[in-house]
Amino acid sequence: MRITIFVTALLMSTIPGTVMASGTTAEQIYSSAENFLDAFAKEQASEGFSVMHDSGKLDARLSLATCEKPLEVSFSGDPWKTTQPSLLVSCEGSRPWRMFLPVSVTITGDAMVAARTLGRGERLTESALRTDSVVVNSTRRGAITSEDQLIGMEMRRGINAGTVFTPDLLLSPAAIERGDHVIISARSGNFSVNSRGKALASGGIGEQVLVENLSSSRTVRARVTAPGHVEIPM
């Protein structure tokens, strides 16, 4: 199936009225876009992903200011999070212009899916995971392709078997639970002082929690650095 590219967007020129019949043609723009997408598909194939891209004929009457340099093409949207990204085609010559071309890009490959129904708060283990061939870029959240990113994580909500794992489904497990005794490190550069404390809230690594210093009875806000360890700046 081929999808017609509609030239929707933005023509920018430093000189008004630079659209010229003898300038850059639709065929040149089409060829540059196709070459870019072919290179992207080849690059992803080396990583085990199959890429299909659909692009149709541009309006043959389209003609822009002549570009003395090869046209530059890049994605203006993330092709891993949508099947309808845009290409930015631009000329950086003496009469620069830009144009956005919507295209269809389908990236198929192995991604992680639920091997069974999973409940909210369930800790993920290897037995809960399997791989399946999916359209990886069919969700804006981005499909997770590595098992290492999942094992040990907790489910933010329940899902059915076969559901593709995306980052929004996951919670980092708490490294510290409320009431746990922790080591508080007050750090400045390479110098640190340790004291004992009690966590007043649960938190994962990198999160901030309130901790009671058992020596001074003061409550401080500290960053969780590891299970049983928090840190505050001096």
Evaluate whether residue 2 is within a structural domain. Answer: no
Evaluate whether residue 202 is within a structural domain. Answer: yes
Evaluate whether residue 12 is within a structural domain. Answer: no
Chain position carrying tokens 């010559």: 93
Evaluate whether residue 224 is within a structural domain. Answer: yes
Grade residue 83 by pLDDT with cuts at 50, 70 and 90: very high
From 60, 85, 102, give the residue that closes a domain.
Answer: 102
pLDDT of 142 reads 85
- The answer on 225 and 156 residing in a single domain is no
Evaluate whether residue 16 is within a structural domain. Answer: no
The gap from C-alpha 74 to its chain's centroid, in whole angstroms, comes to 17
Bridge partners (DSSP) listed for residue 231: 185, 223
From 171, 194, 213, give the residue that closes a domain.
Answer: 171
Please give the residue that has the higher pLDDT: either 166 or 12: 166
Encode 176-187: b = buried (16+ Cβ within 10 Å), e = exposed: beeebebebbbe
Most confident range, picked from 14-28, 53-67, 147-161? 147-161
Q: What is the CATH number of the domain that holds 213?
A: 2.30.30.760
C-alpha 162/C-alpha 154 separation (Å) is 17
From 75, 102, 129, give the residue that closes a domain.
Answer: 102
Say whether pLDDT at 223 is over 80. Answer: yes
Evaluate whether residue 221 is within a structural domain. Answer: yes
| Total of domains in the chain | 3
Instruction: Supply the range of the domain harboring residue 33.
Output: 24-102
Structure confidence by residue, pLDDT tens digits, 88-99: 999 987 889 988
* pTM to 2 decimal places: 0.63
- The answer on 216 and 149 residing in a single domain is no
- The answer on 34 and 97 residing in a single domain is yes
Q: Which residues contact 53 (CB under 8 A, 6 or more apart)?
A: 37, 38, 40, 41, 103, 104, 105, 106
C-alpha 183/C-alpha 215 separation (Å) is 12
Q: What is the CATH number of the domain that holds 124?
A: 3.90.1210.10
pLDDT of 56 reads 62
- The answer on 193 and 152 residing in a single domain is no
Grade residue 59 by pLDDT with cuts at 50, 70 and 90: low
Please give the residue that has the higher pLDDT: either 54 or 169: 169
- The answer on 215 and 154 residing in a single domain is no
